[in-house]
Structure formats: structure tokens, C-alpha cells
Structure 1
Amino acid sequence: MPKGYNAAEVLTMAVELERMGKSFYDAILHDLDDPRAREIFQILSDDEVRHEKLFQDMMHAVAPAGASEPGDPEIIAYFRELMDSRIFPSPSEILRIREKLGDPAAGIRIALTFEKDSILFFHEMLVFAPDDDQPVIKQIIDEERDHLLRILKLKQDLKL
């Protein structure tokens, strides 16, 4: 199978997704009046910052090994399109979501959807990943899965 991309490229996309997630959660947080909903979105935003830092640290650790062999441009373009169009919404979609977001439960549902989409995105990346880079992607998936479980716990704790 041809090489799809290297670990540094995957981690770059992971960092970008975390930034997109933080921007999304911050945009929603900005307009919320409900203290419980604000708390949820602040936690989610903070989690995205932590993940971004973790993925950047991972990128620095693998960059020397992975930087020499760039991946297949078509496969990278495929994943960039998936990332840009399917995981976090565009600014205009955020406005529509803000209008529908009336309670903390709605916020939790939206967050769960986005986090599940992130996990599916990285699972799809495993199909094209060279064997040597699969552990990096699996670690990203584990982090995203932990984030999803954290959101489910928030939902349970807040009795939503």
C-alpha cells in the first residue's frame, strides 16, 4: 500500500482540529447565559487546549523521524477536506447552532457529535497509515475517546 502520510502530518491535522474545536466551543460559550451550559463549554474549550499542547509535544518528538518523507498529496487533500467540512462547523453553521442551543443538554449533544466525528476521522486515517505511524494515530484516538468519555461523565454529573 502506498504511504499516505507521515506521523508529523497526522499530528499537524490533530493540532488543527483541536484549534477548530476550541474556536467552536469558545464561540458557543460567548453567547450562553445558562451557568451550567457555560461551565460545560468552558471545560470543553480547556480540554481542547490541553489536547493541542499534547499533540504539539508528540509532533516535536516524531518530527525528526517523519519529516523526511512527505505523504501522498491526494490522500492528505482527502483528509483535509474531511477535516474542514465534516468535523467542526463553519462560522455560518455556528450561528445557526447558537440559535438552537437553548440548554446544557443541547450543548452536550453537539459536543458528543463532534467528538465522535473526530474519533471516526482518525480511525479512517489508520486505513492509509504506514505501520510505523499507526501508534501515533492510536494515541490520538485514545485521547479523543477519553475526551468523549469525559463529556459523557459531565452529562451524567449534571443529570442531563
Structure 2
Amino acid sequence: MAVIFSAREIAEAAVEKERRRKSFYATVCELSTNEKMKDLFQFLTEEEDRHVTAFSEIRDKLPEEIRSDEYNDDMEAYMDSVVDDRLYANIDSKEFVQQAITAKNVFQLAIGFEKDAILYFREFLPYLTETDGKTVLELIEQEKGHIRMLADMEKKMA
């Protein structure tokens, strides 16, 4: 099977997804009237900011591959569609966030966003070189840690 995606491309999409989750958490913090929830989502916003930094550092260590312009255009369109999927379509909309707060499913959404990242990484593992695959496995472990943190915080808020 040909190697289609590099770990750098996957890491770049991860950075974008982390930024979107950060925006979601910041908007929850802004719109929530519950001080405990505000504090929690401020903390989560800061955690996502650290994840953006971590994923950016991993991405920046990875080599850039030189490909044809045709490949780059196709890849850019594909990566945009992966990052812009339905799960993330309204993530930073104030109306979406307010509905999540009102429906009290903010934690389930946040955990779902983190699980999406793990599924995203796992989907691409078969297409990667062994070296890039190891890097992506590191990214998966970081996301698992974030899910554990969200689950622990949800329990504390219950």
C-alpha cells in the first residue's frame, strides 16, 4: 500500500482540531452563568492551548514532503473536509454552545470531540510509514489522557 499521508499532515489537522476544541471550551466559559462551570472550562481552554502547543511542536519536528501541486491541492481539499466534518461544523457557534450548556451535554460533547481525534488518527495509521505511525500513536496517547481528564472533571461536577 502506498504511503499517502505523512505524520506532519495528520499532526497539522490535529492542531486545527485542537484549536477548534479550545474555541468551544472558551465559548462555554464565556456563556456559562455557573461559576464552577466557568472555572472548569477556563481550565479546559488552557489545557487545549497546551495541546495545540504540544501538537505544533510534534508537527514542526516532522519533515515536510515535496509533492506535486496536483497532490497538494487534492490533499488540502481532503484535509479541509476532515477537519470541517459535521462534528465540528458548529463547534464555535455561540448558539451551539448555549444549546449544549442548556441541555447539560457539554461534557459528552467534549469527550466526543476528543474521541473523534483518536478515531481520526487511527484511521490513518495503515497509510503511514512505521516511523510516522509511531508519532501518531504518541498523539493518540495524548488524546486519551485528555479524555481521562474530562471524565474526571465531569465526575467532580456531578
Category of TM-score, reference length = shorter chain: 0.7 to 0.9
2:35: which partner in 1? Answer: 35
Q: 1:89-128 counterparts in 2 under 5 A?
A: 89-90=89-90, 94-102=94-102, 105-128=104-127
The TM-score, its normalising length taken from structure 1, stands at 0.83
The 1:155–1:145 alpha-carbon spacing in structure 2 relative to 1, beyond 3 Å, is same
* Residue identity in the other structure for 2:96: R
Compute the displacement of 1:82 (Å): 2.2
Structure 2 Cα separation of the partners of residues 70 and 100 of structure 1: 42
* CA shift for structure 1 position 48: 0.8
**Residue deviations 1:96-150, cap 9 Å, x none?**
34134137x5221221111111111111121322222101111111111100010
Give yes or no for the alignment of 1:135 onto 2:104: no
Q: Distance in 1 between matches of 2:133 and 2:116?
A: 19
Amino acid in structure 2 at the alignment position of 1:41:
F
- Using the aligned pairs only, state the percent identity: 24
Rate the CA distance shift 1:19–1:92 in 2: closer, same or farther, 3 A: closer
> For residue 64 of structure 2, what is the aligned residue in structure 1?
67
C-alpha RMSD over aligned residues: 2.3
CA contact (8 A) 2:28 2:41 kept: yes
Aligned length: 155
Structure 1, unaligned stretches of length 5 or more? none
The change in CA–CA distance for 1:148 and 1:139 in structure 2 (over 3 A counts) is same
**Is the partner of 1:102 in helix, strand or coil?**
helix
Question: In structure 2, what is the equivalent of residue 156 of structure 1?
Answer: 155
Runs of 5+ consecutive residues of structure 2 not aligned to the other structure? none
CA distance in 2, matches of 1:128, 1:76: 17
1:83 aligns with 2:83: yes
Distance in 2 between residues matched to 1:128 and 1:75, nearest whole Å: 14
C-alpha distance in 1 between matches for 2:86 and 2:19: 15
Amino acid at match of 1:42: Q
Aligned 8 A contact 2:8 2:64 in 1: yes
User: Which segment drifts farther, 68-77 or 93-102?
Assistant: 68-77
TM-score using structure 2 length: 0.84
CA distance in 1, matches of 2:97, 2:119: 22
1:57 corresponding residue in structure 2: 57
Amino acid at match of 2:65: S
1:17-52 deviations in Å (ceiling 9; x for gaps): 111111111122211111121122112211110011
